[in-house]
Amino acid sequence: MTPMTTWCYKTWGDKGTGRGRAAPPTEVQRQKKKPVKMAKAKPAPPAKKRKTETARPAPKAHDAGDGLGETVKGKMIQKLQCRWWYAIDWPAKEDVEKALPYGYEMLDGYPGVSICTKGDDIGKMLDRRNHRTSPCFKNLKAKDCEELKELLIRALEGQQEELIEHEGEGTTIGKEVVAMLKWARKINASKADKEARRYS
């Protein structure tokens, strides 16, 4: 035996038997033999239920969305709005002929509306039209059905004349205008006013 082996044998040998025994395990060995306790995984929290958003109702159409648009008066107004320039002079002549400020030019096709092309306000719009008399649904709604009927017939007749002049008779649009004229001439204005009052 080597000196180290002899020392170990004498130190750890059984005195009664003379047989050597293994040295006690070191701290590192004891740690390795200990069963490792695995930490239990915590259950995941229940998923939060997402709130389902209810669809928002579509906003009502301005003026025509209150039911008036389905009445005879409402239909007259809507048909008139498609061809009002044959029956209504708007904007007023005096609004169109007003002198423009320096640097402004009238927009083609938009009488009464001008745009700045010089100076510090380039691009700025100037609208001199009187919108209190414009042929919008709100303003036309204030008229009685007799006046609306006259305006609609005048507008349809003006459109019909222009169609015949430029495209001749018997066109698809021309036939539609003729049908609308027949409908408009048969309207009972008093009855239409009475029906419209339910939505006023």
Question: Considering the chain, what is the average pLDDT of its residues?
Answer: 81
Asked if 126 and 191 sit in the same domain, the reply is no
Is there a domain that residue 83 lies in? yes
Residues linked to residue 126 through DSSP beta bridges, in sequence order: 114
Is there a domain that residue 167 lies in? yes
Asked if 121 and 71 sit in the same domain, the reply is no
User: Total domain count for the chain?
Assistant: 2
Q: What's the pTM value of the predicted model, to 2 decimals?
A: 0.65
* pLDDT tens string 44-57: 655 555 443 344 44
Residue 13's pLDDT band (cuts 50, 70, 90): very low
Measured between alpha carbons, how far is residue 199 from residues 78, 148, 191 in Å? 16, 17, 14
Asked if 141 and 195 sit in the same domain, the reply is yes
Residue 66's pLDDT band (cuts 50, 70, 90): confident
* pLDDT tens string 93-114: 998 998 999 999 999 999 999 9
What pLDDT is attached to residue 34?
55
Is there a domain that residue 16 lies in? no
Asked if 125 and 187 sit in the same domain, the reply is no
Asked if 104 and 141 sit in the same domain, the reply is no
Residue type for position 50: R
Is there a domain that residue 190 lies in? yes
Residue 200's pLDDT band (cuts 50, 70, 90): confident
Burial 84-104 (b: 16+ CB within 10 A, else e): bebbbebbeeeeeeeeeeeeb
Q: With 80 as the cut, is the pLDDT of residue 118 above it?
A: yes
For residue 117, the enclosing domain spans 92-130
Asked if 103 and 162 sit in the same domain, the reply is no
What pLDDT is attached to residue 157?
98
Is there a domain that residue 6 lies in? no
Is there a domain that residue 148 lies in? yes
What pLDDT is attached to residue 17?
45
Is there a domain that residue 191 lies in? yes
d(CA 133, CA 121): 28
Q: With 50 as the cut, is the pLDDT of residue 161 above it?
A: yes
Asked if 141 and 193 sit in the same domain, the reply is yes
Asked if 110 and 80 sit in the same domain, the reply is no
Asked if 113 and 194 sit in the same domain, the reply is no
Asked if 116 and 194 sit in the same domain, the reply is no
Residue 135's pLDDT band (cuts 50, 70, 90): very high
Asked if 182 and 84 sit in the same domain, the reply is yes
Asked if 107 and 158 sit in the same domain, the reply is no
- Contact yes or no for 168/150 (Cβ under 8 A): no
What pLDDT is attached to residue 194?
96
User: What CA dihedral angle connects 64, 70, 74 and 79, to 10 degrees?
Assistant: 100
